[in-house]
Amino acid sequence: MKDEQTMTLLPARREMLNAFAKKRGDYDGVFFVAVKTTGIFCRPSCPAKPNPENVEFFGSIKECLFAGYRPCKRCHPLETNGAPPEWAAKLMARVESAPDTRLRADDLRALGVTPERARRWFQQHYGMSFAAWCRGHRLAGAFTRIRNGAKLDDAVFDSGFESHSGFRDAFNRTFGNAPGRARRDGARIVCAMIESPLGPLLAGASDAGISLLEYTDRRMLEKNLATMQKRFACAVVPGEHKLLTQLRRELAEYFAGGRDEFTVPLSPRDTPFQEKVWRELRNIPHGKTISYDELARRIAQPTAQRAVARANGMNRICILIPCHRVIGKDGSLTGYGGGLWRKRLLLELERCKRSAPVPGAASWAGQAR
């Protein structure tokens, strides 16, 4: 059963029933409709017409999946949720075009967006509230300008801060460093959402490489973000990075069946044992699988199958570090953080080489180029 906090963030049931009945696409991403009789969940604009008494509502893909529902094959809620809905795209465009302008609760309402709706969507997809996303966006820009030699006064003014002290406090909280030192040794991980045929992915990159690639509905996403921030000892902020651009291109080629290996640099960081396991995972050829026992033998620790399985499950860079290629000794798929249905489709894609059995892969790849 959903907790009270989640329930209060959803629109009223009457409003959701009305939106679903009218197939309102502007509610896509705000809530999801789960059909008890079929065991599937849909977006509000889905053409399906179940009886109202047979539906329940959830605020996130994560809740739907952990309640035992699978995604609808007609409306593809995972794919739809990967692209920001029109209202969210407009908010992000406004912040990007005028980073020195703050959007407060009244401003959001004037744009037809409730603060709760904005907070919920950004929390669900970026792991932070809309206000935090805006602050991170402003500070990320300030970070870049300072490192490129801009004067502190210019960075303060361009970032929309009214005083040096307010800017310094916010900068230090976000980046863990004083603005002046950021020119020399500052660091941050830039995160952005990437669409995929298997649902939206949250990716993170630093100048050293990709450090995060996770399905946004994964149960451990929030924990992995916190662990990554601690391990790298730097801030995690929204934005764009040249390695994220490269990652998008290579993922598009992979899902289209035209890429067997990724060349984008990786920067995983954890315990020496976990990193050893992750390095060995990258040695499993495209289209092949091995067992946990075999993986333990390959790292010269044949009795450490359980520890190997845990390290496999703690992988924070899915697909690129192919933990999906490890299966049970009896050939069963066993566990996968992104869900066994994703694991099965990834393995099918790799076995088929040049074809794309993943629903929507070919069209998505064309849009990503």
The residue whose two tokens read 């490890």 is 326
* Strand order through the sheet with 201-206: 209-215, 201-206, 188-194, 235-238
Sheet with 40-42: strands ordered across: 55-58, 32-35, 40-42, 70-71
DSSP 3-state of 76: coil
Catalytic residue list = 323
Contact 86, 26 (CB under 8 A): yes
Start-to-end CA distance of the chain, whole Å, equals 41
Length of the chain: 369
Q: How far apart (Å, rounded) are the C-alpha atoms in residues 129 and 118?
A: 8
Yes or no: say if 236 and 188 are a contact pair by the CB < 8 Å rule: yes
Which residue reads 């179940």 in tokens?
A: 50
Q: How many CB atoms lie within 10 A of CB 56?
A: 16
Cβ neighbours for 33, distance < 8 A, ≥ 6 positions apart: 16, 20, 41, 42, 43, 44, 46, 55, 56, 57
Instruction: Pinpoint the alpha helices (H) of the chain.
Output: 4-9, 13-21, 61-66, 77-82, 86-97, 105-110, 115-126, 130-147, 152-158, 164-175, 179-185, 221-232, 242-255, 272-281, 292-298, 305-313, 340-351, 361-368
Cβ atoms of residues 151 and 126 within 8 Å: no
Burial class (CB in 10 A: 0-12, 13-18, 19+), 230: exposed
**3-state secondary structure at position 235:** strand
